[in-house]
Amino acid sequence: MSGIEVKICGLKTVESARAACRAGAEYAGVVFAERLRRVTCEEAARVVAVLNGGTRAVGVFVDTMPSDILLHRDVAGFDIVQMHGSESPSDCQMLRTEGLTVWKAIRPMKRQDLVDAWARYAAVSDAILVEGFSVEAAGGTGSTFPYDWLTGLDRNGPRLVLAGGLTTKNVCTAIEKVRPDIVDVSSAVEDTPGVKSPNLIAQFVSVVKDPV
């Protein structure tokens, strides 16, 4: 067992949520940003309602007011918020005081961006998600970044979530290089864009949990 936790992101249906639970994923993401995998509060609530076996729900947002995030939380029932925009440290802290676990996503264009963002958000985030920068969108694009940018980073404090382009073929190498606490996958466990595959979910979790 690797000890690495897994988040399956972009869940839209009860069936995919159950597949994530069966596979042993620790986290299930529902996306509220304007993207292919966007869900309404009511759709997210149905997904969250069937989670069990220790799988926690993560609500994913981009530049949403904290007050609106809390409204979404009250309807959908997630207890972790993942923020991909230009949210301030004070936004993060406010949501933590309201009982949410906060994951702040950063998309560095160079190593110094990563160092600066980590320093800015470390004290007010429970985890920091790192993925590659893309002009296409503020997250979820599958973009990678040079893993050696993490070398020498003071990682005391928040947990590290690694995202961006992870697949069953490269995730073990990424884990070996980065030693994240959590890996985050979405498109690599889909049959078609936005449609999750129970078999691919199970394969990805198995590769992370029981690497050969």
Q: Mention every residue, 6+ apart, whose C-beta is less than 8 A from residue 51.
A: 17, 20, 21, 28, 57
Averaged over successive runs of 10 residues, the pLDDT of the chain (212 residues) comes to: 89 97 97 90 97 94 96 98 96 98 94 94 97 56 77 87 94 94 96 96 96 71
pTM of the model: 0.92
- Ordered structural domains, the chain, with CATH: 5-209 (3.20.20.70)
Q: Which residues are bridge partners to 102 per DSSP?
A: 81
Residue 121: both structure tokens together: 């958000």
Angstrom distance (rounded) from CA 208 to CA 18: 19
